[in-house]
Amino acid sequence: MNVLHISAECYPFAKVGGLADVVGSLPGELKRLRNVDARVILPKYKSISDKYKSKMVSLLEFTINLGDKKNIYVGIETLTLENVIFYFVDNLFYFGSRDQIYNYGDESERFAYFQVAALEAVSKLDFIPDIIHVHDWHTAMIPLLIKTTYKKSIPARTVLTIHNLAYQGIFPLQDYKMLPLKYDYRFEFEGFLNFLKAGIVSADLITTVSETYANEILTDYYGYGMQRLLRARRSSLLGILNGISYKDFNPETDKLIKSNYDFLHYREGKLHNKSELSRILDLDFPEDKPLIGIISRLVSQKGIDLLRRVLDEMLKIDDFYLVVLGDGEPEYVDYFQELETKFNQRVRVYIGYDNNLAHLIYSAADMFLMPSKFEPCGLGQLIALRYGTIPIVRETGGLADTVVPFNEYVPLGNGFSFKHFNAHDMMHVIRYAIDMYRLPEAWDFLVGEAMTSDFSWTRSAKIYKKAYRKVLNPKEEE
């Protein structure tokens, strides 16, 4: 089985969000399974590290048309990393001269170009995919293009993964003329060109990144206008939980933390890492006080409004420390900076993103707070579980699928959760977690359950392989 992933992001080459982590991990895990060759095609961005660019080899050169624009250059370069072959679409204007990955005002043209270039490359490569797996709106026109323009030249089946339905690629309707397509109702929604709608209607299989999110997006609250279309395609919709790389996130071997540890030695390990975090952030985090970590984009989706309602009150009353790492909307950045100023002996805030610091926070903190308004899958809670850092989450999307709420009477659970998007519900659960932290036996149980939870990509890759087989052979027996 040959599988080609087409994506705007892929770690370690280009990363903005969790999309990059998925496309960076899943193909490698698929290749470890029997009889699967999985490869990736993505843009060759300016921001890709020179250590990777220097290893790329030119493979193809050709030109394509985008509407009135004729003979636009396409270069295809390749490199192999950890046994996976990657192809890069090279064009200086669209990708090679821009510092960021997104937000240039011509996104419809850039990603129309990328999709057509990728499909033209597929028809010229010596790799013939059985499955073309596209990710999010940036590549969601491809299933429709394969059913129409490329029907004869690319006989592959298509899978679309929706990582976040809130982002759909909505542009003026006339922008479709850049693509080698006649007008088609399948890409129009409410008078606009909608890349994601085209994929939802045309893909042979639609997946999302957790089972709960697959159900949530069928509702009016989470559906962002696509709910009726998705309900119509319910039989072709599948939720498959994301995993994390257990090589990159492993407290026993992680080179980015001060002290490695396993479950039997987690208290000593966390104490040493907490001391290192204290040194770096210039604030003493006492051994006997819980440290709550937040690593997040500082945006409304992540539940920051709930935190603004109660953190001041809690920091005056409750006995815990807080460390925040992230960046985002100015109003939330200002809030956390003011919070640090007001509670300078209890709070540290780092605006920006630092991978080394993130690993240290995961390994040093006792709890990880993630009160998202919605969360298709979420990676932060999976990493926190791996490091024995107990997640406190809202029951939505992948958070509901991965965090089992603690029940001290059974005992059961690997974290804490609350259902309603309500600041005081969150506050009560945080206080309950702090109470349990003071009970060593209960906390040892929680950490043990967290660190032995299996959210590796190996498990998810097997589900994807089975789904691909079903797409290729719909009548195959289960």
In three-state secondary structure terms, 61 is strand
Q: What is the mean pLDDT of residues 11-25?
A: 92
One domain for residues 312 and 187: no
Range of the domain at 28: 2-243+458-472
Give residue 193's pLDDT: 98
* Structural domain includes residue 412: yes
Number of domains in the chain: 2
Asked, for residue 314, whether it belongs to a domain, the answer is yes
Asked if the model's pLDDT at residue 17 lies above 90, the reply is no
Dihedral (Cα; 309, 312, 318, 323), 10-degree rounding: 100
User: Does 258 reside within a domain?
Assistant: no
**Is a pLDDT exceeding 60 seen at residue 477?**
no
First to last CA, the chain: 18
Residue 397 in any domain: the answer is: yes
* CATH number of residue 129's parent domain: 3.40.50.2000
CB crowding 426-447: b at 16 or more within 10 Å, else e = bbebbebbbebbeeeeebebbb
Residues 440, 464, single domain; the answer is no
Whether 271 and 196 share a structural domain: no
Q: 232 pLDDT exceeds 60?
A: yes
- Angstrom distances, CA of residue 124 to CA of 120, 129, 153: 7, 12, 10
Q: Do 467 and 318 belong to one domain?
A: no
- Interval 87-110: pLDDT, tens: 999 999 999 999 999 999 999 999
What distances in angstroms separate CA 309 from CA 74, 176, 315, one per listed residue? 51, 44, 12
List, in order, residues 6 or more apart from 392 with CB less than 8 Å away. 292, 367, 368, 369, 370, 371, 415, 416, 417, 426, 429, 430, 433
211 lies in the same domain as 336:
no
Q: What is the pLDDT of residues 120-134, one digit of tens each?
A: 999 999 999 999 999
- Considering the domain architecture, whether residues 157 and 70 belong to the same structural domain is answered as yes
Q: Is 187:147 a contact under the CB 8 Å cutoff? A: no
Instruction: Give the distance, in angstroms, between the CA of residue 247 and the centroid of all CA atoms in the same chain.
Output: 17
Q: pLDDT by residue (tens digit) across 28-76?
A: 999 999 899 999 999 999 999 999 999 999 999 999 999 999 999 999 9
CA-closest candidate to residue 366, choices 472, 314, 306, 294: 294
Instruction: Please say if the pLDDT value at position 478 is more than 70.
Output: no
Residue at 122 is within a domain: yes
For residue 407, tell me if it sits in a domain: yes
Asked whether the predicted pLDDT for residue 247 surpasses 90, the reply is no
pLDDT at 147 over 90: yes
Q: What is the mean pLDDT of the segment spanning 143-161? A: 97
% pLDDT > 90, the chain: 95
What pLDDT shows up at residue 188?
97
Average pLDDT over residues 173-200: 97
Task: Please indicate, yes or no, whether residues 441 and 467 belong to a single structural domain of this protein.
Answer: no
Same domain assignment for residues 149 and 221: yes
Q: What's residue 49's pLDDT?
A: 97
Q: Partners of 37 in the beta sheet?
A: 2
3-state DSSP assignment of residue 82: coil
58 and 81 share a domain?
yes
295 vs 249: CA distance, rounded Å? 15
On whether residue 220 sits in a domain, the answer given is yes
**Shared-domain flag, residues 286 and 207:** no
Element (H, E) at 308: helix 304-317
Are 275 and 238 part of one and the same domain?
no
- The answer to the question of residue 229 being in a domain is yes
Do 168 and 67 fall into the same domain? yes
Neighbours of 71 (CB within 10 A): 8
